[in-house]
Amino acid sequence: MTDRRHPSSLSVVIPVYNGALTIGPLVDRLVEQFAESAVLEIVLVNDGSADDSAAVCRQLAARHSGVVRFLDLSRNFGEHQAILAGLNRTSGEVVAIMEDDFQSSPEEVARLVDTLLEGGHDVVYGQFADRQYSFSRKLGSWFNNRMANVLLGKPKDLYLSSFKCLSRFLVNEVCRYQGPFPYLDGLILRVTRNIGVVDCQHHPRQQGTSGYTLRKLIGLWLNMFTNFSILPLRLAVFVGFGFAAVGGLLSIAVIIEKLLIPETQVGWASTVIVIMIFAGLQLMVLGMIGEYLGRVFLSSNQTPQFAVREEVGFEASPTTSHTEDGTAEG
């Protein structure tokens, strides 16, 4: 009988962004960790790095020929786009995703894989008791998780970490998404609730700083808001109805006050304030609608999810490959 603690093949996808100093030791430790337990495939995706990451990844693909494969994106598309580029080119029975900064230990990958296989899960997330992020990144993660609870129906006790392990079934389903604004955890939660967790240690970054600026975090939130839920539009309807009701009640109160106290003077300042409030609400709702329409336009205009400039090592990949929609072909 097959030992389910060891997959027949394992793929590890690592998006690389300015990780020239860390990606080499990370890959070496992964190769050492799984040298005898699984057919290993490591897919490195350089997401428009400004350092020598691309050159280092090419060297790794040459040094670990047949194991390490390299995709060089034409520009910086974003972490989730880079991960999907890698997922589309994997062939493993199980696929792990991790960052290039050693905040997740390579030795922890085996624990995620074991939990996924033993529990029959579609995805297993690494959970960090003490996340080694900056205050702004922690605040952004907290807000992201709270919004995911509301918009995506995420289990409240689940933390959507970037360190996770997916089954081949889930990878195939996620790769069906071809839109230009992916949010990986939203795609996962859209497919399954068969989720496992593993407590892992989170380490400080060995080099550099996080690539998640405030602008990128806002873009990630917008992807979640507008790609996976119409709740913001429904909320706008209720907010508009609420303010209209308040306005109607205040109008009745003003009329009654004028009838009872004819000398009451209607203030210019209050009129201007009311106009500014309602004008702001209208602009906010119009902007929200415009965001939805803009994304529909960009999707219909075939805006690329990612573009690969160079591929290294895929000629040595197994005979089973995966098309862009995630389906297997012999």
**What are the C-alpha distances in Å from 99 to residues 13, 16, 151?**
9, 7, 26
Q: Which residue has the higher pLDDT, 144 or 327?
A: 144
Q: Give pLDDT tens digits for 152-161.
A: 778 888 888 8
What is the side-by-side order of every strand in the sheet holding 308-312? 195-200, 123-128, 164-167, 94-97, 9-16, 39-46, 68-73, 308-312
Q: Is the dihedral of CA 266, 267, 268, 269 positive or negative?
A: negative
For position 73, what pLDDT does the model report? 97
Q: Which of 33-47, 107-121, 250-264 has the lowest mean pLDDT?
A: 250-264
Q: Give pLDDT tens digits for 251-310.
A: 777 777 767 777 766 666 567 667 777 777 777 777 778 777 877 776 777 788 999 999
Percentage of the residues of the chain whose pLDDT score is greater than 90 = 41
With a cut of 80, say whether residue 187 has pLDDT above it.
Answer: yes
Strand partners, 125: 164, 197
pLDDT band at 135 (very low <50, low <70, confident <90, very high): low
DSSP three-state, residue 225: helix
With a cut of 60, say whether residue 320 has pLDDT above it.
Answer: no
CATH of domain 9-228+304-329: 3.90.550.10
HSE toward the beta carbon, residue 180, CA cutoff 13 A: 13
HSE toward the beta carbon, residue 6, CA cutoff 13 A: 12
pLDDT band at 213 (very low <50, low <70, confident <90, very high): low
To the question of pTM greater than 0.85 for the whole model, the response is no
For position 329, what pLDDT does the model report? 44
DSSP three-state, residue 11: strand
Look over the chain and give the mean of its residue pLDDT values, rounded to a whole number.
80
